[in-house]
Chains A and B, each alone.
Chain A
């Protein structure tokens, strides 16, 4: 009886521990690629989104169109499901084009991901990245 109770108590712990699948990485000690870093302002309301912003860099592609890359690192050992979208602003601070579609993203434990977006036109220069925890 005692053994059964202990097994029942331990079972959820064993099951939950199997959901922890952190990702290890191997990379250059000194990266070769260096993009133009963007100073960013971060506002996170959802404590259940376990992500930290590592770096934001920008570059220009065809016709002077801005491209942004946001590097995020998971601070959890568990897999997360998030949704994200990019919104763009022009030099006057006005919204440039319709907001991008929300995209789903799976983030493995301790994984580093790169969210990239290209501006809708050469007039869009500033961006806002929205992140939320997926309800699914």
Chain B
């Protein structure tokens, strides 16, 4: 009969417990999408990054006071081009959608759903409704003349590595242009994330 020492038995049971625990997962549940429990990754823009960038830029725009310089109150604004300068495929609506709703809630801005850069229309049915109304009233003035401002921007990415430490910076740049084509407001938000690669694995 093979006899095991107490130490051998303890080690075996400890190893078995660790293997069982490693195989167990955590049941899925809901978390606050803007809370601190959200996953932070180095190789993509996370949802909390979009939220923080949008909120910071919106606050900067409201605090600048330029929105009150508009001919209309609330000001009429359209979203122009937001260039993706990162290595990942992203939908910039994560940024602009939040900015639009925040500005709309503030009561300072009305954003157009029928005018967009490159003819991109957010609401095609609203565009049809608008064209029908203009035809009925005989309005010939170009619709774009009703705009006070356009919002444009760029998202950039910088990744560096030093030994096992990886660092990723995302730069969100926005500019508000008036009828003269000049930027009357510009700002940028920089989000930097850092982490270390594990010694074993990937």
Report the interface size class on chain A: 20 to 34
A134 vs B65: C-alpha distance in the bound complex, in angstroms?
34
- Is B108 within 8 A of A63, CB to CB? yes
Contact of A132 among B34, B36, B62, B107 (CB under 8 A): B36
A-B contact count, CB below 8 Å?
A: 55
Q: Is the CB of A100 within 8 A of B68?
A: no
A77 at the interface (CB under 8 A from B): no
Say whether B34 contacts A62, CB under 8 Å. no
Residue A65 at the B interface, CB < 8 A? yes
A101 touches B51 (CB 8 A): yes
Cβ-defined contact, B62 with A102, below 8 A: no
In the complex, which range does the number of interface residues on chain B fall in? 20 to 34
Residues A86-101 near B (CB distance < 8 A): 97, 99-101
Provide the residues of chain B in CB contact with A122, threshold 8 Å: 106-107
Q: Are B106 and A63 in contact (CB under 8 A)?
A: yes
- CB of B171 within 8 Å of the partner chain: no
Verify B51–A61 contact, CB threshold 8 A: no
- Find residues 103-130 in chain A having any chain B CB closer than 8 Å to their own CB: 103-104, 116-118, 120-122
Interface of B is mostly: helix
**Is A120's CB under 8 angstroms from B102's CB?**
yes
Q: Could you tell me if A101 and B106 are in contact, using CB atoms closer than 8 angstroms? A: no
Give the nearest-CB partner of B66 in chain A.
Answer: A62
Measured between beta carbons, the chain B residues less than 8 angstroms from A67 are 63
CB distance from A85 to the nearest CB of B (A): 8
CA distance in complex: A66, B104 (Å): 16
A99 to B51 Cα, complex, angstroms:
12
Asked if residues B59 and A117 are in contact (CB atoms below 8 Å), the reply is yes
Q: Determine whether B48 belongs to the interface, using a CB cutoff of 8 Å to chain A.
A: yes
**Alpha-carbon distance between A131 and B154 when the two chains are bound, in angstroms:** 32
Chain B residues 16 to 69 lying within 8 A of chain A, measured CB to CB, are 32, 34-36, 40, 48, 51-52, 55, 59, 62-65, 67-68
Q: Inside 8 A of A41's CB, which chain B residues have their CB?
A: none
Q: Which residues of B contact A (CB under 8 A)?
A: 32, 34-36, 40, 48, 51-52, 55, 59, 62-65, 67-68, 102, 105-108
In the complex, 9 of the A-B residue pairs with CB atoms within 8 angstroms, ordered by the A residue number, are A62-B108, A63-B67, A101-B34, A101-B52, A102-B48, A117-B59, A118-B63, A134-B36, A136-B40
Q: Report the 9 A-B pairs with minimum CB-CB distance, sorted nearest first.
A: A101-B34, A101-B51, A118-B59, A83-B36, A62-B65, A61-B63, A102-B36, A62-B68, A120-B105
